[in-house]
Amino acid sequence: MLQLSSPTAGGAQYAVSATGNNQRESQAENIQSLCTPTCSTNGTHSDGYTGAFEGPEKLLEMWFAADAGMAHHIGPDAHISNDEWAEHRTGLRLVPRAVWSDMLDMVHCQVLSTLSNAHIDSYLLSESSFFVYPHKLVLKTCGTTTLLYAIPRILSIAREHLGAMCAHQVFYSRKNFMYPDQQEELHQSWAKEVAYLDALFPDGAAYLIGKTNRDHWHVYLSGPESEAVSNSLVGSPVLCPQMSRSSSQSTVHGVMQPSTSSDITVEILMTGLDAERMQLMYLGGASTEEGASGGAAVERKSGISDIYPNAATDSYLFTPCGFSLNGLQGDGYFTIHVTPEPHCSYASFETNVSGSGVRDLHDPQATKHLVEQVTRVFGPKFVTVTVFKARAIEAAQSVAENAWANGVKDGVATTADAAPLSFAPVDGYKAMDRVLYEFDHYWLRYAYYIRTD
């Protein structure tokens, strides 16, 4: 990770105003010059590492809807690769690698390696992960990264390369930090983060889920947009078409692109990891080789490779410790990040891989088995689980209308737009918090567990 000085308001303005390639490159060089002498490709254990690494990630997901002329906005600098997936790339996947790297520099991340298939491009980062679909992106960063400062630049990229004049919807979430005082100023408090997001997305909403005096989870939501939006990037109101958070279709180049992924995402956040099991996450544990070779050894010896045995994976073992992984299966992804030091141990697991020959995450028993399989790998003392499930609102309304027409008055929309069922008991853990949120376009189920031994 590049340890840069704290971005100022001017830094955020740079992301909005730098529209020319030469200007972006020049200002990126200026930012690089601010790098401290302790810079390292591994911010977890750089020379300036204090011994208290912030494992819990900041997670940003942004969706975009294209206008009719989107193909003309891709431009001559579109990324045309020669790999086997080149013919499948559209939309955001055609953004040149250098443009994404420029954006990631603002967050203080570097690309370690990439993995692609017909649906997704994934980037394994020095500080977590980045996934790019034609119509959306998912950026997950740990440590003292400044993720939110990337939003104006991402909006600019989507406008330049997709013709998307606004974000269709935005999701930002994170667990409570272990060391909030070590974050850059913007990320030192949830209130500051919310104020920054509100300035960009006036109709956004912020939530805190779980006990305020124990582990809890923050989430910020904006959209789906169905009315005019104006922010510091867009200059004038524009309309964004509606899509659910996990819509099964996306508009790319004016054509509806079907998706086979189930409309559900599961995140498992773990602290108090088992010290013996974590020895595999140190150089010299599963492997004496840093990088991809060591990462592959960790996958095999830890049991991670058994979670999605048919997935393509890209992993990395850091020096002296730490592990990251991106995995792709069909049009779904999963990602794992581990900080194994006992005093600040943390691991995260996130997936939207469901159905098509793998576990169906709509089934609470399948989610239970996934949580048990993941916790067996890491042996955490404390576990937070979140499940986002897109709502089938139109289907529910249609069922209700048909039922009313046939004289059925009550409970008719339950199966068409059902909330995720309550989590089944997880072996070896006691559920301390169980929360269900019903939003306009999706459901959110949250649970917090403590190991019983």
Yes or no: say if 180 and 188 are a contact pair by the CB < 8 Å rule.
yes
Neighbours of 198 (CB within 10 A): 15
Residue appearing with tokens 């850059």: 184
Whether 372 is a known active-site residue: answer no
Residue among 61, 108, 126, 142 flagged as catalytic: 142
Q: Which two tokens stand for residue 131?
A: 């996934």
Whether 72 is a known active-site residue: answer no
Residue appearing with tokens 């922010």: 231
Q: Which residues contact 362 (CB under 8 A, 6 or more apart)?
A: 262, 264, 354, 389, 420
Q: Which two tokens stand for residue 179?
A: 């060391």
Q: Which of 166, 354, 135, 121 is nearest to 257 (CA)?
A: 135
How far lies 229's CA from each of 156, 195, 200, 202, 347, in Å? 15, 17, 10, 9, 37
Q: Which residues contact 240 (CB under 8 A, 6 or more apart)?
A: 65, 164, 165, 166, 167, 168, 223, 224, 225, 226, 229
- Burial class from Cβ neighbours inside 10 Å (0-12, 13-18, 19+) for residue 8 reads exposed
Yes or no: say if 290 and 313 are a contact pair by the CB < 8 Å rule.
no
Yes or no: say if 438 and 418 are a contact pair by the CB < 8 Å rule.
no
Residue among 46, 166, 337, 341 flagged as catalytic: 337
Whether 128 is a known active-site residue: answer yes
Residue among 324, 345, 348, 354 flagged as catalytic: 324
- Burial class from Cβ neighbours inside 10 Å (0-12, 13-18, 19+) for residue 5 reads exposed
* Whole-number Å distance between alpha carbons of 61 and 150: 12
- Burial class from Cβ neighbours inside 10 Å (0-12, 13-18, 19+) for residue 357 reads exposed
Whether 79 is a known active-site residue: answer no
SS3 at position 369 = helix
Residue appearing with tokens 């013709």: 163
Residue among 46, 54, 261, 350 flagged as catalytic: 54
Neighbours of 348 (CB within 10 A): 26
Geometric angle at alpha carbon 233, from 14 and 263, rounded to 5°: 115
Whether 54 is a known active-site residue: answer yes
* Whole-number Å distance between alpha carbons of 213 and 56: 17
**Which residues lie across from 215 on neighbouring strands?**
none
Whether 108 is a known active-site residue: answer no
3-state helix, strand, coil in the chain (%, to 5): 30, 30, 40
Active site residues: 54, 57, 128, 142, 324, 337
